[in-house]
């Protein structure tokens, strides 16, 4: 059975960097069994209804500004898979989760930055999914649960976001890590390893520094989606954790 992953996508400039995190992701892609397809939730695709991409060929979206000119030249020409899109829609329908196909949207940087590091050849079908920040945390988890069966079909489920993601608090020149960011992530690590869904569903009320770490939930939601896809075995492993710019978390969680 394929695992599911939560993978932090950091800043868009990560696509041009060579550091311990990009090296980790490149190695992870090499070590993983090559999946039949990838189902990926991106924090940068938000919608009120769950959308599932039905694109045959994706455009690369540059949904950012003010970064290096080279970033806007990067292409990740991934393709879709109509049958797997249909399977995703069926599983969501069976779970009572309203969902619609979307044939227009390309891959935003929350998707292609991660995918390009894992699988640079863009030779694996991708099905992109949106996130809805207004659902309850339990509902997010249930969406992941609904798609858990895909893992038995050699399909890799990825949630792309960031556990600590507060752009207003970034310090682009900092070489140290803010204590509040580490405090929140340590609480999160403890609860994920324990698979304490009661605490995790209430993270915004009970976790230390939750308001600073998660000022808006769209980057946290993909963690719950990926975790839900691992509900059957409930084993969480932290594979990587680091920070950039004082508090921007770069983490990777594996759910088996």
Look at residue 150 in the predicted model and tell me its pLDDT.
98
Radius of gyration of the chain (CA): 17
Tokens of 240: 């990587």
List the chain residues with pLDDT less than 50: none
pLDDT at 138: 98
pTM above 0.95, yes or no: yes
Give me the CATH number covering residue 8: 3.40.830.10
The pLDDT of residue 172 is 87
Which pLDDT tens digit goes with each residue over 186-223?
Answer: 999 999 999 999 999 999 999 999 999 999 999 999 99
Calculated CA dihedral for residues 118, 123, 127, 129, nearest 10 degrees: 30
CB under 8 Å to 62, separation ≥6 — which residues?
A: 71, 72, 109
**What single DSSP character describes residue 16?**
G
| Distance of alpha carbon 213 from alpha carbon 184, whole angstroms | 7
Containing structural domain, residue 51: 4-255
Nearest CA to 105 out of 150, 47, 64 is that of 47
Please count the residues of the chain: 256
Asked if 217 contacts 133 with a C-beta cutoff of 8 angstroms, the reply is yes
Let me know: does 159 contact 120? Beta carbons within 8 Å. no
- Quick one: angle between helices 137-146 and 221-228, nearest 10? 40
| pLDDT at position 156 | 98
Helices (H), 95-220: 109-118, 137-146, 179-194, 197-201, 203-206, 210-213
Domain count, the chain: 1
């Amino acid at each position: 059975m394929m695992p599911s992953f939560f993978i932090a996508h950091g800043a868009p400039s990560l696509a041009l960097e060579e550091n311990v995190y990009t090296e980790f992701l490149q190695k992870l892609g090499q070590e993983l069994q090559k999946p039949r397809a990838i189902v990926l939730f991106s924090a940068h695709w938000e919608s009120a209804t769950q959308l599932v991409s039905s694109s045959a060929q994706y455009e690369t979206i540059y949904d950012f500004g003010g970064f290096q000119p080279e970033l806007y030249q990067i292409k990740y020409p991934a393709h879709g898979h109509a049958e797997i899109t249909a399977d995703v829609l069926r599983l969501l329908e069976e779970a009572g989760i309203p969902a619609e196909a979307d044939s227009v949207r390309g891959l935003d940087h929350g998707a292609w930055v991660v995918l390009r590091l894992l699988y640079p050849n863009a030779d694996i079908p991708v099905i992109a999914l949106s996130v809805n920040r207004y659902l309850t945390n339990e509902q997010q988890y249930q969406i992941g649960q609904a798609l858990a069966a895909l893992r038995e079909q050699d399909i890799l489920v990825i949630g792309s976001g960031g556990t600590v993601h507060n752009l207003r608090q970034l310090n682009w020149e900092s070489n140290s890590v803010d204590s509040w960011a580490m405090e929140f992530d340590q609480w999160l690590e403890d609860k994920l390893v324990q698979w304490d869904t009661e605490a995790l569903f209430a993270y915004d009320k009970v976790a230390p520094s939750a308001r600073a770490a998660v000022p808006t939930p769209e980057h946290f939601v993909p963690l719950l989606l990926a975790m839900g896809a691992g509900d059957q075995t409930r084993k969480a492993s932290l594979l990587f954790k680091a920070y950039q710019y004082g508090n921007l978390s770069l983490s990777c969680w594996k759910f088996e």
